[in-house]
């Protein structure tokens, strides 16, 4: 049988890919890629068509196939697939390291950049060359042979450690279950959460109710369960995942220490003072110190609001809920009760109006109004029955791109929400290769024959991920290296995603995407107004929490000295500086901080706050001209989304806004304006 991972003729045959296909496919594609590299080293004369195109052809196929394996490992994890992934990860990593250190290729790129042909290149091709030369230096191409070997070994170890970190978090999450026999213990929980817990217990052949650490169960327990002991049990189980308090085989303590040590060594090999300095070399920020100054300035602005939020919550919890001491597992519960008391607004009440299909229709309508593009249902082989597939077409009906949508939480699926590319846009000799992306969330599914309903936070999460997807789908750049999010500075990639969240707060959009799960009625205006009034509720506390994560990440990668303190002690120092909510001493947040230990956000978590400045300021352009939605949308598409990484994010922003970004809109939207 033909190996489905070697089939690039159309959409990936996800229904056919099995663990046994991974090794043979990767070996074959690595052999092809290595042969293409060998040919490219000596091709003469060097030109775009003789050098860049054949290299792109070979490496793109390898990384597309590997991307499918990585994706499946994240969404339908099985022991067999994990074993195949872990066995082949070192091979793919070694190839990438060798590619980045290949002096012959480096020389060819330099020759091409200096050629007469290159003088006539457009901005996209020039940026590809500039990035390639930079990445060779950052990839260790200028190291001596011993340095190159050590650099490659570090990269390989880091890949394996990151994969192990992520797998430990998944296994620790999936490995917990609490069975409750008496439904009275679940008082306060929404009916659909109780029904889902009942169904989960029955699936396991047990009586009663099964509670898990999957977000559609964990968050409602923390927010609505009247049973304080129950909230505490789940909070602790969640807070100590993948740490020394659980299964020793899943403890991420040693992984964290090893990852940090290897990152510091890698940066030092290249002559950087720290891993943070190495990280910001490809970002909008110039130095780690500049990032720390930005975070601390925002902390100074947010802290008075955060202190007030905490004081109000403590007083309410004491006077109205009888909680003399506000524990970590009381925060979400007390916050929800205070919100209901202050605004007559309940997230659970609002959730009944955001039915799944209606929300999707509303999201697709926003895309049509902003960019004149239509989302249409499409068909494709998928990895799970939950998955939907869509195509995006322009006014003439021409295909722009396609995307998979995997909305619901399940065992064997990584937590959180994300977008990833399956196939990038590329101009080829036989026409345009259209982009293909994955959009993944972890929402609760419908129960008792009712459709799924989403909280407003989940709606904004969906819009957020669609924003990332549109950045990838709407690029008009034909060069692989800078199409979509390729080549975009990491601290700017959150701009299109956070920008999309703003449309979840517009009355016209919200009204169009709501239909009550029982009555079909749209959200009442009075309820929306209460929701809007609560928009900046506890924004001070939320902001300093994000700043805590950002500061911890940047300090960890810029000036952390394991000889003087451990990771948890550093986190406590950061909390001394900015936090108003202190978790218990046994909380092991770093052991689950996959963004920086298993994702792409090491020394880059600050990107979320910096991108909020960019996105709020970009959305302010729409607020300033409310009657010119499609015109402003067309400009945002042309100057930001369509450009991909073909020019700097700062240039994109200035071209759209006519000036550098300002923080004013973020402070206003957060209720923290002076």
Q: Provide the CB-side half-sphere exposure for 507 (13 A, CA).
A: 10
Q: How would you class 569 by CB atoms within 10 Å of its CB: exposed for 0-12, middle for 13-18, buried for 19 or more?
A: exposed
> End-to-end CA distance of the chain, in Å?
67
Distance CA 335, CA 351 (A): 17
Enumerate residues 6+ apart whose C-beta is below 8 A from 481: 56, 127, 128, 131, 132, 487, 645
CA distances 287 to 86, 276, 290, 602, 613, Å, are 35, 8, 5, 14, 18
d(CA 179, CA 380): 38
Distances from the Cα of 420 to the Cα of 67, 195, 485, angstroms? 9, 32, 10
Is 651 an active-site residue? Answer: no
DSSP helix/strand/coil, 422: strand
Candidate list 156, 192, 465, 548, residue with the active-site label = 465
Strands 426-428 and 431-433: antiparallel
Residue 130 and residue 109: Cα distance in Å, rounded? Answer: 9
Q: Do residues 12 and 21 touch, judged by C-beta distance below 8 A?
A: no
Burial of 343 (0-12, 13-18, 19+ CB in 10 A): middle
Residue 38 has phi, psi (to 5 degrees) of -60, -45
Per the CB < 8 A criterion, the answer to whether 273 and 287 are in contact is no
All residues at 6 or more sequence positions from 137 whose CB lies less than 8 Å from its CB, including other chains: 270
Dmax (CA) for the chain in angstroms is 80
Q: Is 524 helix (H, G, I), strand (E, B) or coil?
A: coil
Nearest partner of 177 among 149, 143, 205, judged by Cα: 205
CB atoms within 10 A of CB 154: 19
Tell me, what DSSP letter sits at residue 564? T
Query: Residue 540 in contact with residue 308, Cβ under 8 Å?
Result: yes
- Using CA atoms, how far apart are residues 407 and 197, in angstroms rounded to an integer? 19
Structure tokens, 62: 């390898």
Coil vs helix vs strand at 522: coil
d(CA 570, CA 258): 16
Strand order in the sheet with 388-393: 374-377, 388-393, 399-408, 436-443, 418-423
Interaxial angle between packed helices 79-100 and 53-75, expressed in degrees from 0 to 180 and rounded to the nearest 10: 150
Residues 347/456, Cβ–Cβ less than 8 Å? yes
Sole residue written with tokens 């995997």: 406
Tell me which residues are annotated as active site.
465
């Amino acid at each position: 049988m033909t190996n489905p991972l070697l089939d690039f003729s159309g959409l990936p045959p996800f229904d056919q890919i099995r663990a046994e296909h991974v090794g043979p496919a990767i070996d074959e594609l690595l052999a092809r890629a290595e042969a293409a590299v060998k040919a490219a080293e000596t091709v003469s004369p060097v030109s775009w068509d003789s050098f860049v195109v054949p290299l792109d052809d070979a490496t793109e196929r390898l990384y597309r196939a590997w991307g499918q394996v990585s994706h499946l490992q994240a969404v339908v994890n099985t022991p067999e697939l994990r074993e195949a992934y872990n066995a082949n990860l070192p091979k793919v990593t070694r190839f990438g390291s060798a590619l980045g250190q290949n002096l012959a290729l480096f020389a060819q790129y330099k020759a091409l950049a200096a050629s007469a042909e290159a003088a006539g290149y457009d901005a996209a091709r020039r940026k590809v060359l500039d990035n390639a030369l930079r990445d060779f230096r950052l990839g260790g191409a200028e190291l001596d042979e011993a340095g190159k070997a050590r650099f490659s070994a570090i990269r390989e170890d880091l890949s394996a450690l990151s994969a192990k970190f992520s797998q430990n978090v998944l296994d620790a999450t999936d490995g917990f279950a609490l069975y409750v026999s008496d439904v009275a213990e679940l008082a306060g929980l929404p009916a659909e959460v109780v029904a889902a817990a009942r169904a989960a217990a029955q699936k396991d052949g047990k009586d009663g109710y099964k509670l898990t650490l999957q977000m559609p169960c964990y968050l409602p327990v923390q927010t609505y369960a009247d049973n304080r002991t129950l909230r505490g049990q789940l909070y602790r189980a969640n807070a100590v995942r993948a740490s020394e308090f659980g299964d020793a085989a899943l403890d991420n303590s040693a992984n964290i220490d090893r990852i940090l040590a290897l990152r510091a060594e890698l940066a030092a090999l290249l002559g950087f003072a720290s891993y943070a300095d190495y990280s910001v070399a490809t970002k909008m920020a110039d130095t780690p110190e500049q990032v720390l100054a930005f975070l601390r300035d925002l902390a100074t602005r947010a802290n008075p609001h955060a202190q007030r939020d905490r004081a109000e919550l403590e007083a309410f919890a004491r006077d109205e809920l009888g909680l003399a001491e506000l524990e970590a597992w009381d925060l979400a519960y007390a916050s929800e009760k205070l919100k209901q008391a202050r605004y007559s607004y309940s997230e659970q009440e609002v959730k009944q109006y955001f039915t799944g299909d209606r929300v999707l229709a509303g999201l697709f309508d926003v895309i049509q109004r902003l960019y004149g593009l239509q989302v249409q249902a499409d068909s494709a082989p998928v990895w799970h029955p939950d998955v939907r597939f869509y195509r995006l077409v322009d006014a003439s009906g021409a295909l722009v791109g396609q995307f998979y949508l995997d909305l619901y939480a399940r065992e064997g699926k990584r937590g959180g929400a994300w977008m990833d590319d399956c196939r990038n846009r590329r101009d080829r000799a036989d026409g345009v290769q259209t982009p293909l992306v994955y959009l993944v969330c972890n929402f609760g599914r419908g129960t008792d024959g009712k459709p799924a309903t989403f909280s407003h936070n989940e709606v904004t999460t969906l819009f957020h991920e669609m924003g990332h997807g549109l950045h990838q789908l709407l690029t008009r750049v034909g060069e692989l290296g800078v199409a979509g999010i390729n080549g975009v500075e990491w601290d700017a990639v959150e701009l299109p995603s956070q920008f999309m969240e703003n449309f979840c707060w517009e009355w016209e959009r919200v009204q169009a995407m709501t239909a009550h799960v029982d009555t079909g009625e749209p959200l009442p205006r009075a309820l929306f107004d209460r929701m809007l009034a609560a928009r900046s509720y506890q924004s001070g506390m939320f902001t300093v929490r994000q700043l805590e994560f950002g500061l911890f990440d940047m300090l960890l990668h810029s000036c952390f000295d394991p000889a003087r303190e451990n990771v948890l002690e550093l986190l406590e120092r950061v909390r001394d500086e900015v936090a108003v909510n202190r978790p218990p001493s046994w909380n092991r947040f770093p052991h689950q901080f996959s963004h920086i230990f298993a994702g792409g956000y090491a020394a880059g978590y600050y990107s979320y706050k910096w991108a909020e400045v960019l996105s709020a300021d970009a959305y302010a352009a729409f607020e300033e001209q409310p009657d010119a939605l499609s015109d402003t949308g067309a400009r945002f598409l042309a100057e930001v989304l369509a450009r991909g990484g073909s020019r700097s994010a700062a240039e994109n922003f200035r071209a759209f806004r006519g000036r550098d970004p300002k923080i004013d809109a973020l402070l206003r939207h957060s209720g923290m304006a002076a």
